[in-house]
Structure 1
Amino acid sequence: MSQAETLKTLKIKTAGLKRTHKEASMYEKERDREQAKVDKLKADNADAHDVKQAENVLNESAMMIPESKKRLEAVYNDLRSFVAENSKDIQDDSEDMVATKEVLAAVEETFKA
């Protein structure tokens, strides 16, 4: 693979990881938002049907989190492998590599949390 192709692939994989990371965090935010709605409905003694509907939405949101985390981990591992295999073709201080390292670090922080 030429250096230009390597950099292009690096950009694509980095963008994919960034998008997948954002998606996973959006699902978690949605779950938190839906949990707050359920809690508010319960605190306000809302109609049982409304509470049940809100709980169903909450459960659907929560079900997406494990799958999105699996995808995030797969994309993360793919990018790390690609960087390791092609490190000799990519300058460490290049703009693309710096961006890749930032995204990798952000995802690693997510895994720690």
Structure 2
Amino acid sequence: MSDPRIRTLKIKTGVVKRLAKEKVTYEREAAQQRDRIQKFKDQGKDEYDIRKQEEVLQESLMMVPDCQRRLVKAFEELKKILESEQDLKEAEAYAEAEKVILEAEIQLPQPGEDLKTC
């Protein structure tokens, strides 16, 4: 019989992993979009095309703080589960969750950093 706590641990681990990856993807997309806009400007492209590309950039930038907030919440939930379920330390899912926590920690805002400016 499978322990429901392990199932919950696996789900929460997956959520943290996905949100950290999603945040990185949006940040990478925004950087690529900035480069594309600069290239358009350097090539003297039409102002309309540049404005449209800037709108795409703003959409990507709006997603980063949202991902950040969801990641912080999921990270805290997973961390609480790890702290409260110490008896599961021998489980493979527990070790995976600890690994994901360490990997996701670098995606969290630093102390004093505002979520809106990420």
TM-score, normalization by structure 2: 0.85
Aligned residues: 110
RMSD of the alignment, in Å? 1.7
C-alpha distance in 2 between matches for 1:46 and 1:13: 46
Question: Is the Cα–Cα contact under 8 Å of residues 16 and 75 in structure 2 kept in the other structure?
Answer: yes
- Shift in Å at residue 94 of structure 1? 2.8
- Shift in Å at residue 112 of structure 1? 6.5
Q: Partner residue of 1:94?
A: 91
- Secondary structure of 2:108's match? helix
C-alpha distance in 2 between matches for 1:40 and 1:30: 15
TM-score, normalization by structure 1: 0.89
C-alpha distance in 1 between matches for 2:59 and 2:79: 31
Q: Deviation per CA, 1:61-112: give whole Å up to 9, x if none.
A: 1111111100000000010011111223x12x43211111111001112226
| Greater fraction helix | 1
Q: Partner residue of 2:115?
A: none
C-alpha distance in 2 between matches for 1:85 and 1:96: 15
Q: How does 1:1-113 map to 2 (within 5 A)?
A: 4-88=3-87, 90-91=88-89, 93-111=90-108
- Long gaps (5+) in structure 1: none
Report percent identity of matched pairs: 28
- Long gaps (5+) in structure 2: 111-118
C-alpha distance in 1 between matches for 2:109 and 2:63: 19
C-alpha distance in 2 between matches for 1:72 and 1:79: 10
